[in-house]
Chain A
Amino acid sequence: MAERRSPSGWFEDVCWAVANGPTPIVLAVCADLTALRRLVEWLRAGVPSLAPSSVREIAPDQLLQLIEELDDGAERVAFVVDASGGDDAALASRWSAWNLARERIREGLQAPPRRNVLVLLVTLTRMEDVARCAPDLLSISTVLTVSEEPFAVTADDDELLDVYRQDQAALEQRYGLTTDEVMAKLIQREPVTIPAEDLRRWEEIAQALRALPPR
């Protein structure tokens, strides 16, 4: 099994993947069961705020049956399945069955008008088995290794770091303020005369660079 990088996403990314992501199946890999339960709560609150939809937690054994019986109700549903449980044999048999039925699941979810989404939650320790049993399902899913913390770029990621640094420098030069000064103004709710689009970009950059030592 390959080396795992640090999580490339956070809980909110899963909400966005459900609301606007490119695939109807999202596989979120959590550090442990506690984080997994927290993610479920996060999804319950976050998904309806991003798109008119509801979140429904279902048992793994219900999934295939439920896909067969999806009605054409008006509300879009994000089905959330904690797919980490059970012993090794149960996990392998469940994921192998989903792997075989992946197209049926995908088509069932995408049937208009609702275009439902399925969120499969799994812990990092079980992911090795999942990848072995369901390689094709992974290929058609959005796979996100998530933590509770928003994304932050690391010093190792030279290319991404360069982009953020360049954009940061451009903003600082354009407005004659440092990033720290702007963020302090925002925290203290002081007025700033920066267009909203640039301000959002600046916040995005500041958030991504927060784990690095100051220049």
Chain B
Amino acid sequence: MPEHTRVLLIGQTGVGKSTELAQVAADLESKYCILFPPVDTVLDLGHIGWHEILVFSARWAASAHGMEDAESVETLDRYLEEPRETKYPAIAEALRSQLVTTIGGPPAPTPLQRFRNEEAAIRGLIAKGRAQFWDVATAVFGGLEQRMGRPPLLIIDGLEKMPDSSARQLFYDEARHVRELPVRTVVTGPLSMSFTEWFGDMEECFSSVERMRAIPPAVNDPSSSFFDQLASARGATGLISTGDLALLIHWCAGLPRQFLHLLGQAATLALEGGQEQIKRDHCLRAAQRVTERFQYQLGPSDFEALARPDSERTNEARARLLRVGALVEFDDPSGGPRIESNPLVRQLMNRRKSEAPRGRA
């Protein structure tokens, strides 16, 4: 992993990116100081920029590795404070911690808590001095490398959930900042970007772009054994017949999250019925339950788009259907991607077709 490694990992939600990243982190822990800041849960993915990501990650890393007393971190904390006008800067600086006294109520927030409390205000603050913030965050990462004795590796997970407009802003309009990132970085992004005309230009800013796709599970397929192992890890072995497990694996469309959702629902239904074994009807009803959300998420235009071959779908329609999981991007054995409808959605489409002649769809 050379110094300027900037990896973009794209793939649809539920395909296993986070699991893969956790594995990468475990594998590289001895060589790098792994940083996994919770960017997607603290920053607003609708208005995110590389400066906010870098500054938050630096401050989070400083807290996680006990660097609060480092000079660069103290400087960053000062930058993150709410600016106050004063006529006597020297006195104000000397009395910084004594200027505000509050009695009662919650304590003053720490710099990291400010990100959670006042995300928009912090964003405004960073916008006023982007270069200053970038440089001080870079210094924090430099200090971290010295202290830990190994270079930091920043893993930013969860950005695939960004709205498409924000993804364009971050990955394309602000792409030049990717090259300037001061640490090795692996970042996830939405799959829908890969269908845009600007994706090629954006790719050049990363040292590599990796794409995770679902693997269509089939009998005796290595991916089936992966799902078998997943079921075993969840303690389901022996509770479900091989045939019923194969059915759940078929319905999961190669998406680990969908598989676990199906298995969890089937187990809940078995428990609810007072059964010690998951039976076929529990699996069938679990599939109905997991399909339930699609009935609300998909409208007539979505069903029309689903019925068309992929080459006839618009980019917008494809991106939307991939985002909600109604379409799944598979790894085609012949190489390259293949986009198909989710088997659970296919059931819904078949039902709509059969109900249409009776005037119910």
B282-296, CB < 8 A from A: 284-285, 288-289, 292-296
Q: Are B296 and A131 in contact (CB under 8 A)?
A: yes
Contact flag A197-B268 (CB < 8 Å), given A100-B44, A135-B323? no
Contact flag A16-B271 (CB < 8 Å), given A21-B264, A160-B281? yes
Closest to A7 in B: B292
A143–B46 CA distance with the chains assembled, in angstroms: 25
Interface-located stretch among A36-44, A84-92, A178-186, A200-208 = A200-208
Check A54 for interface membership: any CB of B closer than 8 A: no
Check B204 for interface membership: any CB of A closer than 8 A: no
A113 to chain B, nearest CB (A): 19
Q: Are A130 and B267 in contact (CB under 8 A)?
A: no
A1–B352 CA distance with the chains assembled, in angstroms: 12
Contact flag A3-B361 (CB < 8 Å), given A23-B261, A145-B292? yes
A16 to chain B, nearest CB (A): 5
Contact flag A128-B296 (CB < 8 Å), given A2-B352, A8-B285, A197-B276? yes
Query: Which of A9, A12, A160, A204 is within 8 Å of B289, CB to CB?
Result: A9
Closest to A22 in B: B264
Query: Which of B271, B295, B324 is within 8 Å of A20, CB to CB?
Result: B271
Count of residues in A whose CB is under 8 Å from the partner chain: 47
Query: Which of A21, A139, A200 is within 8 Å of B293, CB to CB?
Result: A139
A167–B282 CA distance with the chains assembled, in angstroms: 13
Check A163 for interface membership: any CB of B closer than 8 A: yes
B328 to chain A, nearest CB (A): 13
Q: Are A142 and B265 in contact (CB under 8 A)?
A: yes
Q: Are B41 and A107 in contact (CB under 8 A)?
A: yes
Contact flag A167-B275 (CB < 8 Å), given A3-B352, A68-B116? no
A1-59, CB < 8 A from B: 1-5, 8-9, 12-13, 16-17, 20-23, 27, 29
Q: Which residues of A contact B295 (CB under 8 A)?
A: 2-5, 145
B58 to chain A, nearest CB (A): 20
Check A147 for interface membership: any CB of B closer than 8 A: no
Interface string of A135-146 (1 = CB under 8 A from B): 110110111110
B301-331, CB < 8 A from A: 303, 323-325
Query: Which of A27, A103, A104, A163 is within 8 Å of B280, CB to CB?
Result: A163
Q: Are A107 and B38 in contact (CB under 8 A)?
A: yes
Check B165 for interface membership: any CB of A closer than 8 A: no
Q: Are A143 and B296 in contact (CB under 8 A)?
A: yes
A141–B293 CA distance with the chains assembled, in angstroms: 8
Q: Are B40 and A135 in contact (CB under 8 A)?
A: no
Query: Which of A2, A136, A141, A151 is within 8 Å of B285, CB to CB?
Result: A151
A205–B210 CA distance with the chains assembled, in angstroms: 48
Check B300 for interface membership: any CB of A closer than 8 A: yes
Interface string of A111-151 (1 = CB under 8 A from B): 00000000000000001101100011011011111000001
Q: Which residues of B contact A163 (CB under 8 A)?
A: 279-281, 284
Q: Are B13 and A144 in contact (CB under 8 A)?
A: no
Q: Are B325 and A139 in contact (CB under 8 A)?
A: yes
Known: A2-B296, A160-B281, A201-B275. 13 other contacts (CB 8 A): A2-B295, A3-B360, A3-B361, A5-B295, A16-B271, A22-B265, A68-B116, A135-B324, A139-B14, A143-B289, A163-B279, A197-B276, A208-B281
